[in-house]
Amino acid sequence: MSETTQIGGDALLARRSGAWRERLRLVAMALGPVLGAIVLSGLVLLALGVDPIAYYGYVVDRGLINPYGLQATLTRMGPLLLIAAGLIVAFRAGIWNLGGDGQFLLSAVIVAALGPLLVPYLPVWLVLLVGLAVGAMVGAVWSLLPALLKAYQGVNEIITTLMMTFLGVSFANVLVKLAFRDPATTVPQTRTLIVADRLPRLFDTTVSSGLIIGLVAIVAVHLLMTRTAFGLKLRIVGANPRAAVHAGLNVPLLTMATFALSAALAGLAGAVEIMGVQGNVRADWNPAYSLTVVPLVFLARFNGFASIAFVFLFSVLSIGGESAARRTGVPNFFTLVVVAILLIMLGITEYLDQRRRAAGK
């Protein structure tokens, strides 16, 4: 009797250490590319004649340690988390929605134009709610064409969503310059939503409550995709559309739903950025968040909680990088290089892991 429990205990122990090793492997596979990207990007800085240690030190100081920097970092996370949530829905359903930037920007412009118009007539909380709803709707509408083409014509959504992004960015500029221009300013921009009418700040900080919206959204999306029947259906479509048809799923309808949800979240991000941070849209403003969030979501393996960590890391890099740009003369384009190297390192890690596992078999 005691012997069997002994054996059982051993097996349990072995299983537990196996689970730990698995968890360690996942952590290493997530952190490895990050470290590799930081080192390689440091070499790029060195080649450009900038001291990488001073640069990174500045980034960490201004993005993480300095209280104002940290608050800016946390505020930046709000829209990024919403975009990441939208990408997780789409990618898990096997749909490449690369049009997030157009969805984000158009929603931002329309919300920016709408907000100041509504303020005299409605209470602030209602203006904010209407703004968020309209933002989500605009994002979803901007994905309608790619969604229809993908669902009913089988047209590759990578191309259509990218085209809609280019179209949307130009269209947003046209709207700012011609339709929604604030006549009181010389530089073309929309009317400004005054600070008192924006999304409330958290406690005594400058952190926008957009952070909470983003966190709620990404956790909700994670649970939706992993714990509900709807999420399972979407994942089946993503894993094997043909099998999904045979399983009796309405694939075109699910495709439409995926696009709508994904783009609505990107649109919501635009609304949060405007009503929480910017207050208005200047002509030619385009932060292009969406394409830079794509690698982060991959790094997190479409896991919502891991995405929060990587979005935080990226926010530190981007807020710190903006300060460092003024001080060290390295323009913000550097963040693009870091993200690109990060993606490639991610691919290489994946490849090495596969080889290691194949060798282990």
Partner 1 sequence: MSGLFTEAFLTSLVLGALTAGLPLMLAGLGEQISEKAGVLNIGIEGMMLFGAYLGFVVAYYTGSVWLGFLGGGLGGVLVAAPMALFCIRMGLSQIVIGIALTLGAEGLTALLHHFQFAQSYPRLPAVPTLAIPGLSAIPVIGPALFDRPPIAYLAVLAVAVTAYVFRSTQFGLSLQAAGDKPAALDAAGVDVARVRTCAVLITGFLAGIGGAFMSQVGAGIFVPFMTNGAGFIGIVLAMQARGRPLWVLCGALLFGACLSATTALQVAGVSIPTDVIQMLPFAAVLMVLVLFGRRASLPPALGTHYVRGAR
Q: Using CB under 8 A, which of 171, 192, 212, 301 touches partner 1?
A: 171
CB of 106: closest distance to partner 1 in angstroms?
12
Residue closer to partner 1, measured from CB, 199 or 294: 294
* DSSP letter assigned to residue 172: H
Residue 166 found at the interface with partner 1 (CB under 8 A): yes
Residue 347 found at the interface with partner 1 (CB under 8 A): yes
Residue 335 found at the interface with partner 1 (CB under 8 A): yes
263 touches 98 (CB < 8 A): no
SS3 151: helix
Give the number of other Cβ atoms within 10 Å of residue 61's Cβ. 14
List beta partners, residue 189.
Answer: 282
Residue 331 found at the interface with partner 1 (CB under 8 A): yes
| b/e per residue 233-259 (b: at least 16 CB within 10 A) | bbbbbbeebeebeeeebebbebbbbbb
From 7-15, 20-28, 227-235, 291-299, give the range in contact with partner 1 by CB under 8 A.
291-299
134 touches 114 (CB < 8 A): yes
List beta partners, residue 45.
Answer: none
Give the number of other Cβ atoms within 10 Å of residue 150's Cβ. 24
Which residue type does 133 have? Answer: A
CB of 357: closest distance to partner 1 in angstroms?
14
Residue 348 found at the interface with partner 1 (CB under 8 A): yes
Cα gap 77→49, rounded to integer Å: 31
Residue closer to partner 1, measured from CB, 23 or 177: 177
Query: What residues contact residue 181 under an 8 Å CB cut-off, 6+ apart?
Result: 188, 189, 190
Residue 145 found at the interface with partner 1 (CB under 8 A): yes
Radius of gyration from C-alpha coordinates of the chain = 22
Residue closer to partner 1, measured from CB, 152 or 230: 152
For Cα atoms 83, 84, 85, give the angle at the middle one, nearest 5 degrees: 90
Site for partner 1 in 174-213 (CB under 8 A): 174, 177-178
Cα gap 124→120, rounded to integer Å: 9
Residue 251 found at the interface with partner 1 (CB under 8 A): no
Q: Using CB under 8 A, which of 133, 162, 219, 249 touches partner 1?
A: 162
From 218-226, 256-264, 300-308, 330-338, give the range in contact with partner 1 by CB under 8 A.
330-338
From 2-10, 62-70, 313-321, 328-336, give the range in contact with partner 1 by CB under 8 A.
328-336
The DSSP string of 18-49 is: HHHHHHHHHHHHHHHHHHHHHHHHHHHHHHTT
Nearest C-alpha neighbor of 98 from the set 288, 350, 252? 288
From 3-11, 24-32, 71-79, 160-168, give the range in contact with partner 1 by CB under 8 A.
160-168
Cα gap 115→79, rounded to integer Å: 18
Residue closer to partner 1, measured from CB, 40 or 219: 40
From 54-62, 106-114, 209-217, 332-340, give the range in contact with partner 1 by CB under 8 A.
332-340
Q: Using CB under 8 A, which of 200, 250, 340, 353 touches partner 1?
A: 340
Residue 104 found at the interface with partner 1 (CB under 8 A): no
* DSSP letter assigned to residue 197: G
CB of 356: closest distance to partner 1 in angstroms?
14
Q: Using CB under 8 A, which of 133, 219, 291, 313 touches partner 1?
A: 291
Cα gap 126→106, rounded to integer Å: 21
One symbol per residue from 59 to 98: x for binding partner 1 (CB under 8 A), - otherwise; what is it? -------------------------------------x-x
Residue 298 found at the interface with partner 1 (CB under 8 A): yes
**Binding footprint of partner 1 on the chain (CB under 8 A):** 44, 48-49, 96, 98, 145, 149, 153-156, 158-160, 162-164, 166-167, 170-171, 173-174, 177-178, 291-292, 294-295, 298, 330-331, 333-341, 343-344, 346-348, 350-351
